Structures are given as C-alpha cells and as structure tokens.
Amino acid sequence: MPTPPPIPYDHLPEVPELTVESDDVGDAVTLPTAHIFNDWGFAGQNLSPQLRWSGAPEGTQSYAVTCFDPDAPTGSGFWHWVLYDIPADVTELPTGAGSGPDFKGLPEGAKHARNDFSTKAYGGAAPPPGYPHRYLFAVHALSVESLGVDTDTPPAVVGFNVTANTLARGFIAPIYES
C-alpha cells in the first residue's frame, strides 16, 4: 500500500505554532508498545504518552490535547484521545495521564470527551494491517477557559469547538503499522 500523504493539518485554519515535545514519542518514529491499544488483538499497554508544550500566546485560557489518526479507513479518520478544559497553567501531562481507571496525573478540571472507541480516555493505536498510520498528538492553546461542551459530545463536535477557539497549535506525529 502507498505511504500516507504528508502532514500537517492542512485542512485546519493556520495559527501560530506551539512547541510540543515528548519523552515517549517522536515525529515519524514508531509508537512504542506502551502506547498501543490493549484489545482488538493488540497487546499494548494503552498508556497516553508524556507531552509538554511551550510558546502559548498571550490570551491562552486553557488547552486541549487530541490524538487523531487521519489514515483510518473510515472516511473521517479516528479520534483516539480528546482531552479539553486543561487549565492554562498546565504545560505538561505525564505518561498515562489520559489512561484509566484513575487518570493519575490528569490536571484538575480537565475533561475527556469520548473517543471513537466510545471511551472517555486515551485509546492507543490499533490500525488494520496495510500501511503506517500517523497519530497526530496535538496541543491546542485556546482562547476560552472552558469549551462548554458535555463529555458525551461526539469527538468531531469537540474538535469543531477546539478549532473555533484555537490561538496556537503544535503536534507530534508518530506512526504505527500492524
């Protein structure tokens, strides 16, 4: 199968860049087993990766962190993680912060919307065989303290609200192939 097209988010409005770094994942680097799904025939640990960010513009009132697979064979991609209402003074999430059941390390006030696995947590990579999938771990600096959406809101609707309020964005895009 062909290699997926290059990133970034060419379909989202252009905004200033945040610097996003991780001790766990890297651009175009294969996701470690720790961040792979643990179901559907996969034997990963299903842990969200450590992420840290800097360079948010003045006026940032909160953050959202998302993980999206644009290469999923769905016609609309696949949302693996949708975390929002992260307080503006938070600039790092430890490994496993988005993973249940206790979400150790998740900042107070942060909320998970359901992902495309229908869980309110991080769901690791679980692509069908064929070619590498990209996993876009994005951090969005937002102009609002709260998105004002319920945690049962579909991820695409949360994404719409994130995009409408984004002041800056940065991402890391590791890959995974089964």
Could you read off the pLDDT of 127-151 as tens digits, one per residue? 998 888 999 999 999 999 999 999 9
Q: Are 34 and 48 in contact (CB under 8 A)?
A: no
pLDDT of residue 6: 54
Transcribe 85-100 into DSSP letters: EEETT--EE-TTTT-T
Residue of 22, 24, 14, 140 lying closest to 86 (CA atoms): 140
Give residue 5's pLDDT: 54
At 164 the three-state DSSP class reads helix
pLDDT at 91: 98
In the chain, the domains with their CATH numbers are: 19-176 (3.90.280.10)
Over the range 75-103, which residues count as b (16 or more CB within 10 Å of their CB) and which as e?
A: eebbbbbbbbbbeeebeebbbbbbbeeeb
CA distances from 81 to 1, 52, 85, 112, 125 (A): 26, 16, 14, 8, 11
Residue 135 and residue 175 in contact, taking contact as beta carbons nearer than 8 Å: yes
What type of residue sits at position 135? Answer: Y
**Burial, 25: exposed, middle or buried (Cβ in 10 Å; 0-12, 13-18, 19+)?**
buried
Cα(93)–Cα(75) distance, rounded to whole angstroms?
30
pLDDT given at position 1: 46
Low-confidence ranges of the chain (pLDDT < 50): 1, 8-9
> Would you state the pLDDT for residue 103?
84
Give pLDDT, residue 12: 77
Q: What is the pLDDT of residue 114?
A: 95
Give pLDDT tens digits for 76-92.
Answer: 899 999 999 999 999 99
Q: Locate tokens 């049962």: which residue? A: 152
CA distances from 16 to 40, 56, 62, 82, 83 (A): 38, 9, 16, 21, 21
Nearest of 94, 168, 175 to residue 138 by alpha carbon: 168
